[in-house]
Chains A and B, each alone.
Chain A
């Protein structure tokens, strides 16, 4: 089983949409997904009947899947996918949609992700998140992802000498970015001192290490370049993608993920290297995952991210622009939309449609995803590299 991977030719990504986040909502997931779709149609000028492919990610859509949503929203489609991959769903949705458009199985694919958040829905989802979670994790303290990432963080800090201040620097920088992003739920500046002295959630994690669950949705369109130009939609070209599931299963505690296996291939397919990337959106439900991505995606060596963090500013205007919308840590985690947030921000940066802090002359952007703490670690990882239209 060999064979090089085909490029993406003239597949493009357009129309970044965010449905404003709220902490709690009485609406269902369908409401947020419908608004996301409406946003795509309005912004692109496409009629609903021109969308012939749909890719959906949502945790709270149950008992419906993408299929139910077609009837719910009155769409007749010839291509449909449902990506239950949490934080990796944006990257994976784009990969699937791009091949569908490239092969002609669909001409316009709407990728939407969103969730609602009722006052008790987060807890109810945790208990039934996966068989292993229900059998072997949730009964132990019922800490949810906070507990899982506390284990990973504790291990990483001991193994590589990372300090709370290192994680704090990323959180503080992301907050600075978020203050310019209109949809961020966190509106107040964050100081390192506040970060370090916040209330303990799951040692060593404190309040500002943890994402806040909320309701909201994100969306983008995948088209052929010609169609995007006809619609007068600014677009980003898709240079390269990777995905991996259950990488390094024999690591007793997670300190790396699939990117470490696939990152060379990602840059080879894109024809650029880590130094060429102008803006990065990493999956940031907890800062330890940020630093893991910096290493596994080749921005620094394994174990060297504490030093890397100390050398950069991570704001949109500073060195190494990173999670320029504020990331989930400052915008909020709207369920599966968390897997889209970074990618949608990279589309905005690359197409010059930022609504927050803009990175000047961003030619290449990288978005990565990470998801699904099935038992003790995130299983899904992925990344994409997007480029501006003029290359």
Chain B
């Protein structure tokens, strides 16, 4: 059984912080399909459209009938653990620093045999396990064999924690803790066992209901933070930047309308100033220290979360300038992800559908509750995903976008 994690001692400031090493991250292009699915928290395997064979490792042709009509299909991951080993020696620094390391070979019920990281609570073979696909520190899909049924403290497994961004005993900055999503997140992250939550707030005269109660929680520390103010961002980074393990950027400026309904660019500029330049300011000030702390012990820097919008994928004309600012933020977030890659820090992009808040008042249901967005962000941190689509609208638009982005563009243009 997994021993529960204990609160790490205060960091000894004399000791050198370890440089982050990564597991091997090179993959063939065809195998990146596995990563693409894992990025959304799914286990997908290549399936032959002609003969139905499910195969692994990924190939360029069906290993049975040689068909090249292969598609990635979701699998439930159940299977039998046939063989195991625990490494006490590794050829790569990442694993050498983390030995011993347990591995298993699992025959999936859908056919293929996979090599997987083996959770400590899986019993000796032969036994039943369930394979999940997580994004590992190298940013690639990693198969993890988990016990078929949940066990106590299973999230605290030493190996699993190297493939998740669990907030337990970590320090988290939430850039706008006043918004409905921000408040829900503070609550969820505290409940998840975070050591400390810095709750950022701009506009101190605004006192939304509920915020006072949250700010009185012992784990919560209020920090003034206005993303439009470069100096303020720099100052805060100077103060706490070296301790932030997870940064969740919830700051969001949302106004309605597209191009024709307004004169001038002031509103659009304000949206860009928070949604795009705000992210850029944050990244310039906070990312360097996080990059340096990618392997800083049990509670290393692990994740940067961006609250984007499903409108970032394709413009929603009734909220046209807002969509554009979120598209800009998405593009920048991809750059940030690439720059964080060598440090093993995961960038999680969240694309909610319309959130049930004041700026989506005029949109038809279904809208997503702020608490649900917070819950899905927490699930992504605890699991292995890097792209999250909370809510039915987000799922639906994502499916349409994947199917054909041009068709989605026409569909959105027709929505009024």
Contact = CB atoms under 8 A, between A and B. Distances in A.
Assign chain B's interface to a size class. 35 or more
A141 B26 contact: no
A3 B76 CA distance: 47
A142 B24 contact: yes
Given A127-B24, A134-B24, A122 B86 contact: no
A134 B27 contact: yes
Interface string A131-164: 1101111111111101100111011001000000
B95 A141 contact: yes
B101 interface: yes
Given A137-B115, A139-B140, A141-B101, A147 B87 contact: yes
Contacts of A144: 91
B128 to A, nearest CB: 15
A138 B24 contact: yes
A67 B18 CA distance: 46
Interface in A75-123: 122-123
Contacts of A147: 85, 87, 103
A158 B80 CA distance: 15
A249 B64 CA distance: 11
Contacts of A134: 24, 26-28
Given A135-B57, A139-B136, A253 B113 contact: yes
B82 A155 contact: yes
A123 B57 contact: no
Contact of B117 (A131, A140, A205): A140
Interface stretch (A195-203, A294-302, A322-330): A195-203
B365 interface: no
Interface residues of A, number: 38
Contacts of B114: 136
A158 B58 CA distance: 29
Nearest to A142: B92
B23 interface: yes
B3 interface: no
Given A123-B92, A142-B92, A142-B95, A135 B113 contact: no
Interface string B141-178: 01100000000000000000000000000000000000
B57 A375 contact: yes
Contacts of B84: 151, 154, 203
Contacts of A270: none
A376 interface: yes
A132 B107 CA distance: 17
B101 to A, nearest CB: 5
B85 A142 contact: no
A252 interface: yes
Given A131-B28, A158-B125, A376-B105, A139 B142 contact: yes
B56 interface: yes
B131 interface: no
B49 interface: no
Given A134-B27, A143-B103, A151 B83 contact: yes
A297 B88 CA distance: 33
A159 to B, nearest CB: 10
A200 B88 CA distance: 6
B369 to A, nearest CB: 38
B115 to A, nearest CB: 5
Contact of B88 (A131, A139, A201): A201
A155 B89 contact: no
A248 to B, nearest CB: 13
Contacts of A203: 84-86, 88
Contacts of A66: none
A228 B67 CA distance: 51
Contact of A154 (B26, B85, B88, B101): B85
Contacts of B26: 127-128, 134
B44 to A, nearest CB: 14
Contacts of A127: 24, 26
B138 interface: yes
Given A135-B58, A252-B113, A376-B113, A140 B88 contact: no
A128 B87 CA distance: 20
A126 interface: yes
Contacts of A135: 27-28, 31, 57-58
Contact of A141 (B31, B63, B103, B107): B103
A292 to B, nearest CB: 15
Interface in B64-114: 82-92, 94-95, 101, 103, 105, 107, 113-114
A204 B87 CA distance: 9
Given A137-B115, A152-B83, A146 B27 contact: no
A142 B91 contact: yes
Nearest to B92: A142
B210 to A, nearest CB: 44
Contacts of B116: 140
A143 B23 CA distance: 12
B56 A136 contact: yes
Given A139-B25, A202-B85, A252 B107 contact: yes
A202 B115 CA distance: 15
A367 B156 CA distance: 50
B87 A252 contact: no
B82 to A, nearest CB: 5
Interface in A199-227: 199-205
A352 to B, nearest CB: 41
B87 A139 contact: no
- Best-buried of B25, B63, B88, B91 by chain A (most CB within 10 Å): B91
Nearest to A123: B91
A140 B142 contact: yes
Contacts of B31: 135-136
B105 A253 contact: yes
A136 B89 contact: no
Nearest to A206: B88
A23 B21 CA distance: 27
Contacts of B113: 252-253, 376
B337 to A, nearest CB: 19
A375 B112 CA distance: 12
B332 to A, nearest CB: 29
Interface string A353-368: 0000000000000000
Contacts of A253: 82-83, 105, 113
Contact of A140 (B58, B91, B115): B115
B145 to A, nearest CB: 11
Contacts of B24: 127, 134, 138-139, 142
A40 B139 CA distance: 50
Contacts of B91: 122-123, 126, 142-144
Contacts of A128: 26
A15 B117 CA distance: 48
7 contacts: A134-B26, A141-B101, A155-B105, A200-B86, A203-B86, A253-B82, A253-B83
Interface of A: 122-123, 126-128, 131-132, 134-144, 146-147, 150-152, 154-155, 158, 199-205, 249, 252-253, 375-376
> Which are the 9 A-B pairs with shortest beta-carbon distances?
A150-B85, A142-B92, A136-B57, A135-B31, A155-B83, A151-B83, A123-B91, A200-B88, A203-B86
Given A141-B87, A142-B90, A253-B113, 7 more contacts: A136-B115, A140-B116, A141-B90, A147-B85, A150-B85, A200-B88, A375-B57
